[in-house]
């Protein structure tokens, strides 16, 4: 994140030197604007995929079927694949920003709704599955998916066909009684 400077943004955007600092006086203000923009892009993308708080709250009743878990695994795998390909730069930026939250906790508040949405979806699924402590399982599941994305961003790429089975194994483990 040391490369994120007012001058670097000006140069990258083809703006006269000093333009960015006229809008964002401090590095903290620049970083906050970056995190807000990442969060907004994520929100718009999730809405385009039909993933909204309203959609999350209106899932089917009863325990999830094997077919439903398979569909969830496929959908999640597509989402993971997106972050590894077309969304790679934004995913890397998000992880860098997450690390910055250790120094600037207020940034965490900006990123929290995205994480909360994922945990809410998982918690509702695990509640339907009837597992003990669905909130903790949701936290664990979302962390595992997040870790999978980070590992694949930093390490060897995975074959797209291997993602859905990996997600399904995580789902099965988290849905077990």
- The pLDDT tens digits of the residues spanning 26-39 come to 999 999 999 999 98
What secondary structure does DSSP assign to 157-174, as a single string?
Answer: PPPHHHHHHHHHHHHHHH
Residue 34: helix, strand or coil by DSSP? helix
| Rg from Cα positions in the chain | 18
Question: For residue 1, what pLDDT is reported?
Answer: 78
Query: Residue 131 has what DSSP assignment?
Result: -
Mean pLDDT, range 81-94, rounded to an integer:
93
- The pLDDT tens digits of the residues spanning 52-66 come to 655 555 567 778 889
- The pLDDT tens digits of the residues spanning 100-140 come to 999 999 999 898 887 788 888 899 889 989 999 999 999 99
Structure tokens at 107: 């940034």
**pTM of the shown model:** 0.83
Task: Indicate if the alpha-carbon torsion angle 75, 155, 175, 162 is positive or negative.
Answer: positive
- The pLDDT tens digits of the residues spanning 139-174 come to 999 999 999 999 999 998 899 999 999 999 999 999
φ, ψ at 111 (rounded to 5°):
-85, -20
Question: For residue 67, what pLDDT is reported?
Answer: 92
How far is residue 83's CA from residue 67's CA, in Å, rounded to a whole number?
25
Task: Please give the CATH number for the structural domain made up of 29-175.
Answer: 1.10.357.10
Q: What integer best gives the mean pLDDT of the chain? A: 89
Question: For residue 117, what pLDDT is reported?
Answer: 83
């Amino acid at each position: 994140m040391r490369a994120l400077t007012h001058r670097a943004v000006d140069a990258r955007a083809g703006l006269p030197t000093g333009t960015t600092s006229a809008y964002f006086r401090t590095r903290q203000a620049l970083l906050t604007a970056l995190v807000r923009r990442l969060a907004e892009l994520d929100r718009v993308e999730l809405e385009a995929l039909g993933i909204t708080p309203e959609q999350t709250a209106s899932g089917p009743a009863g325990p999830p079927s094997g077919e439903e878990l398979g569909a969830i695994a496929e959908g999640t795998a597509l989402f993971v694949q997106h972050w590894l390909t077309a969304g790679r730069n934004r995913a890397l930026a998000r992880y860098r920003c997450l690390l910055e939250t250790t120094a600037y906790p207020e940034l965490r508040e900006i990123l929290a709704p995205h994480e909360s949405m994922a945990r809410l979806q998982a918690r509702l699924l695990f509640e339907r599955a009837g597992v003990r402590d669905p909130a903790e399982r949701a936290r664990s599941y979302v962390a595992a998916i997040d870790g999978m994305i980070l590992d694949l961003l930093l390490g060897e790429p995975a074959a797209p066909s291997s993602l859905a089975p990996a997600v399904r194994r995580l789902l099965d483990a988290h849905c077990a009684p």
